[in-house]
Amino acid sequence: MGVQGLASFLDKHQNIYREVRFGRSRLLVDGCNLNYLLYFSSGLDQNHGGEYAAYVTLVESFIAALRSCDITPYVVLDGGSDVTDKKLETAAKRREDRIRKAHEAAASGRTMCILPRMAELVFIQTLARLQVPVAQCFAEADQEIAALASEWRCPVLSNDSDFFVFDLPGGFLPISHFHWREVRQSGSRSSVSCRRYYTSSFCSFFGLRRQLLPAFAALAGNDYVKLRGIDWTRFVQAGTGTEACGRLEGLLCWLKGLQESRGPLEVLEEALGLLGDLSGDKRELLQNLRLGMEEYQLGRSALSRFFLHGAPPEFPALEQEAGLVPGWMLLPVTQARLSGNVLDVLRLLRMNLGFGIETQELPSANQTSRPLRQVMYGLLLGKDRSSPVVEFDRAGLGPISVPVEPTFTRTSQRLRLDSLPQVALSDRLNVLLEALGVTQESLRLLPPQLQLPAAVSCYWLQTAQPPPDLQRALLLGMSNTPRSTAAFQNKSGIQKVDVDVSHAFSQWQACLKDAAQLNQLLGLPLPEPDVSRLYQGTLVHQLVHRMRSGGKLKTVLRSDRPSEELYRSLLSVVRRIRTRRTRQTRQKAATRRQQNPPEPSADLQRLFLQDEETESEARAAVAMQEELRLQEELLQVRTRYRTKERSNRSKNPDLARKEECRGRDLL
């Protein structure tokens, strides 16, 4: 939620905090908050679509710093949206703000704090690989984090100002004052320098009764409650000696002046009296303030059993939602191995879409991957409940709501969501491949980890508008090792963002994200790729610039033989799939012409085009021969990849067993 202006207000009253050395403790981490703040505070590039490999290194360093101090982190993530729509107005305003910032970043090249599309998945994948306990809530995480922190009596790490209001026995550690890069050792112990906050310090400093702190938060205004029309600054007492006499200080002065017998509800009613005669609106405002105050009341934690025993929480479904979310989904959602977006589709028939760096003149990149989402909607809702799903997207600089119909592939039309775990792997794989328009045979020569990215790239090349010509740069960046990438980047400066190139790669990332979510829903019929190795924004933009300016890419290919072989494998597969799909398109067109003979004038026109078509077919045939010649080389690449994989598994059998069980555990 967030209390408006509270964090910056408290930074002016630093005596409230305690300077501490923190170590040897559990720590509840606000995962979504940490994801944003780590990326934005790192100086990593944002405007070229993300620097995911460097971000992985940053997350690894953060977790290593905690573990060196015997701090055990438990990361909790937001899941679906609030079903009561209390935050609908705030969410719409934030979407509008992100759209504007994304346009300004694309048009001016300025950094506007736009989180790259795949950063959250990279964050989750990295934590899983580091075996950090992660839980995804069914809705917003604030209350769940606070409830568990209260039960475990450990602090919370976040920058969300709501944690200044929750009464936490272990206190609250603001990330902005958590100096994890500066681990200090004293004897055999290491610790992190930080500031710890307690509500008791706040109430003592401002002379506020603790039971009125939730009322203060509700009256101050948050994402759920916005009380307009009261000028709190007129209650600031003269001679307080504070640096700023603002809205929050005036509110605190007003609360301090109330009689001690006043309870929280009486305080809310008296505050509304300051607004004068509101007739019927007064009752609605009072109800909203009461709900806002109740957000800070803590119940029992639903996550303790999951973190300690692996059992997912019970789904808090309303009566009208009974049966909408099948029981098998609860564990993968809680494990963050299934996106919280599926809950929004099932419960609210909505989908919140992200935004890349795009200008208002270009269409939303989300349009390219909409057919993939439609297949996912069909799986989630089925034919019996095939209602449109409202997607929150953009048109120009304005947010829009688009009703999108679910669709079904040849295989998915006979599947049911509640029995999806029992569906044969081959059928689940067919649903994914049919949605992407590729065949299993076309991908078989690639290493398993690259099959989904290759299929997504083929889908992107066929559906993106305008049609991209950037596949060589994308595949080259995808196949390069960190060593060869670093060697290239040291020789090339970062060019100004090309808006069209950025938009094309934003479309590819939208396709990858939606294909990955569909793959997760189907129980990973294709291995989930390590996203951090697939896309490095500045690198692929530099490769495009070099190609278009007449530069050669041989220097990149020569730097690393395995990368060269992998690149040729990817390029061959993508070309072969494109050739096959082009041939299918022509065959369909020929069939249509046979069924609907053209007019004589059209026949005459075809005579003039005949030579050009024959020449094009000849070029395609030569290309196919070249690709066939490369198949043996591709098979060798795949064999070497499998040999290395078997070697790694033999060295670490426990990790191998976990990877083999990953897809089965999901369903």
pLDDT digits over 521-548, tens only?
Answer: 999 999 999 999 999 999 999 999 888 8
Higher local confidence (pLDDT), 430 or 258: 430
Domain ranges of the chain: 18-196, 212-218+228-294, 341-561
Token digits of residue 519: 């793959």
- Per-residue exposure over 408-431, b if at least 16 CB sit within 10 Å of its own CB, e if not: bbebbeebebeebeebeeeebbbb
For 106-124, write each residue's pLDDT tens digit.
999 899 999 999 999 999 9
What is the structure's pLDDT at 648? 57
Phi, then psi, of 134 in degrees rounded to 5:
-130, 135
The per-residue pLDDT of the chain, averaged, comes to 85
DSSP per-residue string spanning 473-519? HHHHHHH--HHHHHHHHTTSPPPPP-HHHHHHHHHHHHHHHHHHHHH
Q: Rounded to whole angstroms, how far apart are CA atoms 627 and 575? A: 8
Of 462, 461, 261, 503, residue with least CA distance to 366: 503
Confidence at 84, pLDDT banded by 50, 70, 90? confident
What is the structure's pLDDT at 636? 57
Token digits of residue 368: 């390219």
Q: Rounded to whole angstroms, how far apart are CA atoms 591 and 568? A: 34
Q: Rounded to whole angstroms, how far apart are CA atoms 556 and 134? A: 38
Token digits of residue 72: 């055990």
Of 465, 545, 534, residue with least CA distance to 504: 465
Which range has highest mean pLDDT (194-198, 317-321, 605-609)?
A: 194-198
DSSP per-residue string spanning 555-587? HHHHT-HHHHHHHHHHHHHHHHHHHHHHHHHHH
Confidence at 317, pLDDT banded by 50, 70, 90? low
Percent of the chain whose pLDDT exceeds 70: 82
Which of helix, strand or coil describes residue 357? coil
What is the structure's pLDDT at 345? 97
Q: Is the pLDDT of residue 286 over 90?
A: no
Cα distances (angstroms) measured from residue 283 to each of 222, 268, 286, 287: 19, 11, 5, 6
Token digits of residue 644: 């290395």
What is the structure's pLDDT at 460? 96
For 223-254, write each residue's pLDDT tens digit.
777 777 788 888 886 655 444 448 899 999 99
For 562-617, write each residue's pLDDT tens digit.
888 889 899 999 988 888 877 776 776 677 667 676 554 444 343 334 344 434 44
Residue with tokens 């004589």: 600
Of 99, 105, 147, residue with least CA distance to 395: 99
Q: Rounded to whole angstroms, how far apart are CA atoms 287 and 310? A: 38
Which of helix, strand or coil describes residue 219? helix
Residue type, 546: R
User: Residue 389 CA to chain centroid, in angstroms?
Assistant: 20
Half-sphere exposure of 64 (CA within 13 A, CB side): 9
Of 491, 632, 642, residue with least CA distance to 568: 632
DSSP state, residue 598: P
User: What residues form DSSP beta bridges with 505?
Assistant: none
Which of helix, strand or coil describes residue 136? strand
Average pLDDT over residues 287-314: 92
Token digits of residue 554: 């041989």
Residue with tokens 């390069």: 480
Token digits of residue 347: 């419960």
What is the structure's pLDDT at 613? 41
User: What residues form DSSP beta bridges with 400?
Assistant: 393
What is the structure's pLDDT at 563? 82
Residue type, 359: T
DSSP state, residue 384: T
Average pLDDT over residues 461-488: 78
What is the structure's pLDDT at 247? 87
Of 45, 192, 62, residue with least CA distance to 123: 62
201 in Cβ contact with 36 (< 8 Å): no
| Sheet-wide strand order for 25-30 | 134-136, 71-77, 25-30, 156-158, 172-174
CATH code of the region 18-196: 3.40.50.1010
Phi, then psi, of 370 in degrees rounded to 5:
-60, -40
Average pLDDT over residues 479-493: 53
Q: Is the dihedral of CA 416, 419, 421, 424 positive or negative?
A: negative
Question: Exposure of 603 by Cβ count < 10 A (0-12 exposed, 13-18 middle, 19+ buried)?
Answer: exposed
Peptide bond connecting 466 to the previous residue in cis, omega within 30 degrees of 0 = yes
For 134-168, write each residue's pLDDT tens digit.
999 999 999 999 999 999 999 999 999 999 999 99
Neighbours of 39 (CB within 10 A): 25
Neighbours of 508 (CB within 10 A): 29
DSSP state, residue 446: S
Average pLDDT over residues 483-504: 66
Q: Rounded to whole angstroms, how far apart are CA atoms 569 and 70? A: 45
Q: Is the pLDDT of residue 201 over 90?
A: yes
What is the structure's pLDDT at 235? 87
